[in-house]
Each structure stands twice: as C-alpha cells, then as structure tokens.
Amino acid sequence: MSAPSPHTHVEPAEARIAPKPRLRRFHQARWDEPLIFELTSPGERGVGVPVPDLPVPDLPPGLRRAEAPALPEMSQPHVLRHYLRLSQENLGVDLNVDIGQGTCTMKYSPKINDAFVRDPRISELHPLQDESTVQGVLEILYRLEGLLKEISGMDRVSLQPGAGSSAIYANVTMIRAYHAARGEGDQRDEVITTQFSHPTNAAAPKTAGYKVITLMPDADGYPDIEALKAAVGPRTAALLITNPEDTGIFNPRIEEFVRIVHEAGGLCCYDQANANGILGITRARDAGFDLCHFNLHKTFSTPHACGGPAAGASAVTEALAPFLPRPTVEFDGSRYHLDDDRPESVGKIRPFYGVVSNLVRAYAWIMALGAEGLRDVAETAVLNNNYLIHKVLQIKGVSLPYAQGRRRIEQARYSWEQLNADTGIHSEQIGYRVSDFGTHYWTSHHPYLVPEPMTLEPTESYSQADLDEYAAILAEVAREAYEDPETVRTAPHNGPIHQMKGESLDDPGTWAVTWRAYQRKLA
C-alpha cells in the first residue's frame, strides 16, 4: 500500500459510504482549431501510393470524375491531431455525468460489446455474402427479435429501422398499409398524439401524409382524455403516444386511451423509445397496443446516433405482421434465411440487414443481464430518479410541476420558474454554468409548457456518488444565481468557447452545416 498523499484524510465510515460531493475544478481544452478544409496543404497526402509497374487500364469515361474532388489535402498525423483536438473540446458521453440530457436515456455502453462488434466474425462480414455463410449473424438477429417480442409482448419484430424516428416512420407506414388493406386508407387520414410525447410522433405521420392532432396536457399533466374523446372518429388512423411522457409521469389511464381509439377503429402505437423505467414491469401488448418501437441506443445501451449509427426496432401484433418491412429473418428449424417474398410488406426501409453492429451490442447487453437483470435496470433507474428528485427539490428556486404527490418513473421535468423570477437567471443559463463543472444539461423542451424547464434522467448507469455530484452542481449553480448571478449569466467560463449568439441558431439563413453551404453563404 502506498503512503497517503497529502490530500487524503480519514473519514468516518458513514461518510465513506456517501461522501460529500466535491465540485470538480474542471477546464476544457481550447485549441482554436480551424475547420479541416482550412487546414488543406496542397500536395500533402495521407498515403503515398506507389506508381504501378504495370500499365493500368483507364476507367470507362462514365465512371471518371470531370474534376478532382474538393477534399482537404492532409497527412495522417494532421488529420488525427485535428480530430483529437476537436474531441477535447467536447463533453462526450464517456467523459461526463450525462443526467442532464433528460429524455435521451443516456447510459453506459459497455466496452466489451464493442469488442464483439470489432470481432472479424462480425466486422469482416459483407452484406452481399450468401446466406449459407452468415448463419451466425442471422441467428443473432433472430434471437434478438425473440427477446424483443418477449419484452414488448408483441408477435413480430423488425430490426430494419436505422433509428428511433425511422422505427416510428416504419410503424406509421404499417398503419397506413393496414387501413388501406381494409379499404379505409382514404377515410382514415388523421393521427392523434400528445404534446409531451416525443415530437417524432407528430413529425413521422405528418411526413407520411397524415393530418396530425395534438392533445394538450390537463391541469395534472396527463394528456386530456376528454380531448381524446373529441378527437377520435371515423377519420382516426391511429394514436401515437409516449408513456411515461417526457415529464416522467406515467398515464394510469393508458388502457382507457387505447379502448377509446380502438372503438373508433384506429390503431394504437406505443412509443417505447425509452422503455427504461418499465422493462420487465409492463408491456405494450398488455396495455392493448397494436404496435410499438424501441430505440436500441436508449434502453438497450447501444451508442446514440450522434456517436455513430443508432438502431431501432418495430414490434407489431400478428394482424400487422404481413406489413412489416422486408426482409424478415426466418428460421425453418435448421437454417436461417432472409424472407424478401412478402407481398403486403411496406417495402424496404434500409438496404441489407439493419445496423448490425448495434443489433449485436443490444443482443449482448440483454443476454448479459437476463430477464431479472432487465427488471433490475428499470427498478434502479426509477430509484435513481426518485432519489435525485428528493435531492433536487431541496434546492431553492426549483419545483416539479404537475401531478403533485405522484411518483415520477424514470425522468422528471422540473421548473426553475421561481429562481428565474427571483434572480432573472434562465434554465438555459443554468445549463451553461453547469458545463463549467464538466457536465452536461440541455433545455430542448419546446414549446415551453413548463416554464424554465430542466429534465433530468438518471438511468441505472449512474452511481449514488454521481447523483450526489450532479445535485451538488445544481445546488451550487442555484446558490450562485441568488448570490452572484453575474457568474451564471456570463457562463460558460471553463469551456472551449464562450456563449454563442442564439439568434443565429434560429435563422436557417445564417446556418452552414457543411463546408459547401458555408462557402455559398460567404459568397
């Protein structure tokens, strides 16, 4: 055992169990790094390709470029250095306590699952290989489908969707195909959703050609059931609803919602992108739903899309199974195969098998936990949330609107309305200041029905010490708001850049999300 450093001191036993959180003295790197296109150095190359000894035939004219691609010319170390520097200016998911990304279900993506994906038996597969040579990966997909059937209670699952929104869109196209097959496609042109459901539940059906009706929350924060009764009718194609909603409030009348829609002839589609609080506790099928979807990058731990490809899964009852995207993975008792001969299918929504790398990760995660482990995930996530609620509500200026006295499930939408009235500080400014302590917080909860909102979602990945640290950061920022508001107002102080002018984010005319767009807008 090494000698104690000057900074260690012995604490009483109970303090070692839950030590007083220490606020980090964090400062992020600042590299003042140009865009990669601005780093170009004519003639510089990453790989020096030798001149071939033998004559190389010219490409056919149709395959030849008229001019060289406008790419930056750089050596390998320059490229590596550029991206490492950028990564140091990020608050990445493995770097911080991501509780403040409420609604995103941030959790640890176990690194061992990356090892499975990097294994040549997965990474070296080619999507055009003959089925007889990919029996192993087809078996994984088939077995993952079986697990998700059990978790949802549904009869069939498609692993084709590329992400959560892709899965919702796939579900909407199946709803459309179902009504069309029954001769009611033209008549049923309305989809109902709720204000606190994920916004894709409005966006996907609208993109698919439906008219979208949004129900507002009632005084307790539940979707207004009287409004639902007024909304349904012979034009209702479906209800798309999240539960628990983004407020963390579970709708105890969900079966009544389903009944009302079914009686009108509509289908019910459960957004279980985030099933983290209900795994092994309740299932979409048990509440009467016809379809649901999962984001494998939320509940099932695979990386979120911004860090790579995401993956979704659509689950349906037998009545909707004929419409599933093709191909499906089938098993005849001895061999696995892809079934592309599905005449009523809504068609292909992706090439090949789906996002196999994430499907393998999700399969490994579920298998490692087992059925009881999944339930532990949900119970821990709910316990974490209610522990954090207890801590956060002790902070001056914060409140938890709606459904007083009712427990939240896996997340909670708080309000800094009182703190704002007292100090003039906004939720968004609190978020900037929180980043000075090396952690993340976002406020994208629009429109702001809850004034000055903050949504915290402490999934099962976070320890009690993590929760205590996050609550301590919030308490410190709230204290500053009351005693030293200037520090909060001018935050961030420890980030790579200072405040952005928000207005430019609101104006598509000033955006440039690509180099080409930037060049066009400069001109």
Partner 1 sequence: MKVGLVVNPVAGVGGRVGLKGSDSPEVQQQAFALGAVARAGERAATALRELLARRPDAAILTAAGAMGEESARAAGLTPMVVYVPGEPTSAADTVAAARTLAPHVDLLLFAGGDGTARDILEAVGDSLPVLGIPTGVKMHSAVFAVNPRAAGEVAASSSSSSRLRDAEVVDRVDGTTQLFGHLRVPDIPTRVQQRKTGSSGITPDAVSGIAAELADLLTPGELLVLGPGTTTRAIAAAWGVDIPVLGVSVLADQTLVAADVSGDELLKLVTATPARIAVTPIGGQGFLLGRGNQQLTPEVLRRVGLDRLHVVATEAKIAALGGRPLLVDTGDDRLDAAFPRYLRVISGHRRTILYPLHSERH
Residues forming contacts to partner 1 in the complex (CB under 8 A) are 195, 202, 206, 210-217, 219, 224, 226-227, 230-231, 421, 423-424, 426, 428-429, 442-444, 446-449, 486, 489, 502-503, 505-508
Residue 84 vs 421, nearer CB to partner 1: 421
Those residues with Cβ within 8 angstroms of residue 486's Cβ, 6 or more apart along the chain or in another chain: none
Residue 120 vs 502, nearer CB to partner 1: 502
CB of 271 to partner 1, least distance (A): 18
Give the separation between CA 188 and CA 381, rounded to whole angstroms.
39
What are the two backbone dihedrals, phi and then psi, of residue 190, each rounded to the nearest 5 degrees? -125, 140
DSSP letter, residue 330: E
CB of 227 to partner 1, least distance (A): 5
Residue 354 vs 496, nearer CB to partner 1: 496
Give the separation between CA 189 and CA 179, rounded to whole angstroms.
10
Residue 214 vs 494, nearer CB to partner 1: 214
Residue 58 vs 226, nearer CB to partner 1: 226
Residue 96 vs 299, nearer CB to partner 1: 96
Residue 123 vs 444, nearer CB to partner 1: 444
The pairing of strands 211-215 and 190-194 is parallel
- Residue owning tokens 């119970």: 379
CB of 96 to partner 1, least distance (A): 17
Q: Which of 460, 456, 455, 441 is nearest to 384 (CA)?
A: 460
Partnered with residue 436 across adjacent β-strands are: none
Angle between helices 464-483 and 356-392 (to 10 degrees): 50
CB of 302 to partner 1, least distance (A): 23
What are the distances in angstroms from CA 163 to CA 277, 284, 442, 444?
Answer: 20, 19, 21, 19
Query: What 3-state class would DSSP assign to 36?
Result: helix
CB of 455 to partner 1, least distance (A): 13
CB of 9 to partner 1, least distance (A): 41
Give the separation between CA 192 and CA 225, rounded to whole angstroms.
12
CB of 261 to partner 1, least distance (A): 14
CB of 218 to partner 1, least distance (A): 8
Those residues with Cβ within 8 angstroms of residue 423's Cβ, 6 or more apart along the chain or in another chain: 397, 481, 482, 485
- Residue owning tokens 């914060």: 398
Residue 377 vs 419, nearer CB to partner 1: 419
Q: H/E element holding 190?
A: strand 190-194
